[in-house]
Copies of this chain bind each other. A is one copy, B any other.
Amino acid sequence: MTSEAAFSTVSSVATDGDGRYRGEIHPDWTIAGKPNGGYLLAMLGRAAASETAHPHVIAASAHYLRPPAPGPVEIETEVLRAGRTASQVRARLLQAGQPCIESLVTASRLSDDTKPYWSAPTPEPGVVPFEESFRLPPIAPTGLAVTIMGVVDCRIEPSSLGFARGEPSGKGELRGWLALPDGEPFDPNSLLYAVDAFPPATLDVEPTGWVPTLELTAYVRALPAPGPVRVLHQAHLVDDQRVNETCWVWDGTGRLVAHGTQLAGIRLG
């Protein structure tokens, strides 16, 4: 929980006043040297929520302009509306004065109720336990350095592992589990990372290189129970060198706690 690579540590931000924050992108939280987009959104979410009376990010959307490098970054925030039940904030991540990510954040207070009022029956989470799923190594089958997999415990169900043998199922779905370093419990900030933590769901269609996030939207729907979270990552359509994907995150009790959607760049065909 207190290791140098704890998510709460690597995503922490320090205020400089006037809505300005400083953070430090950790070199371990990268893919091919580029920081994970959800990790950066968590930094932005932390800074944004700090400007409000509301502790939990419930919706965050980001458009990615250019990837920052590991190292120091600045975050500029602007409170758009401070409401009774929710507040909205604009937050921009810069490196060496150059804008890298522009985001919008809605913060509120999630209740500590134990089950949702209503939820749809689909899509279903996976069925294979954490212990029987396979942890991804920090090198992809293509040879790409996925350094982040050395710090997080990202596990794929055997049925989704065809890509690792060169036999993708073609369905564009990856199912499995995610755990933070040293078993740190998930919270609304780390759920912003969780919706972008899995490899591209297109691996279950064809191998590719780096798949950069262009837009990422995350909804945090509930406070998660401690322990690893279940993840289903789905690709919907590959066209014009882009793919749209949905990511579903359930806590260990089977409750849907986060819902992410992203548009990413991809080179296939």
Contacts and interface: CB of A to CB of B under 8 A. Distances in A.
A102 B117 contact: no
A31 interface: no
A129 to B, nearest CB: 24
Interface in A42-82: 58-59, 61-63, 65-66, 80-81
Interface string A81-104: 100001010100000000100111
B235 A120 contact: yes
Contacts of A62: 61, 104
A256 interface: yes
Interface string A197-236: 0000010011000000011010101100000000000111
Interface stretch (A108-116, A139-147, A181-189): A108-116
A17 interface: no
A105 B65 CA distance: 11
B80 A238 contact: no
B237 A256 contact: yes
Nearest 5 CB-CB pairings of A with B: A61-B61, A116-B239, A59-B215, A217-B217, A118-B238
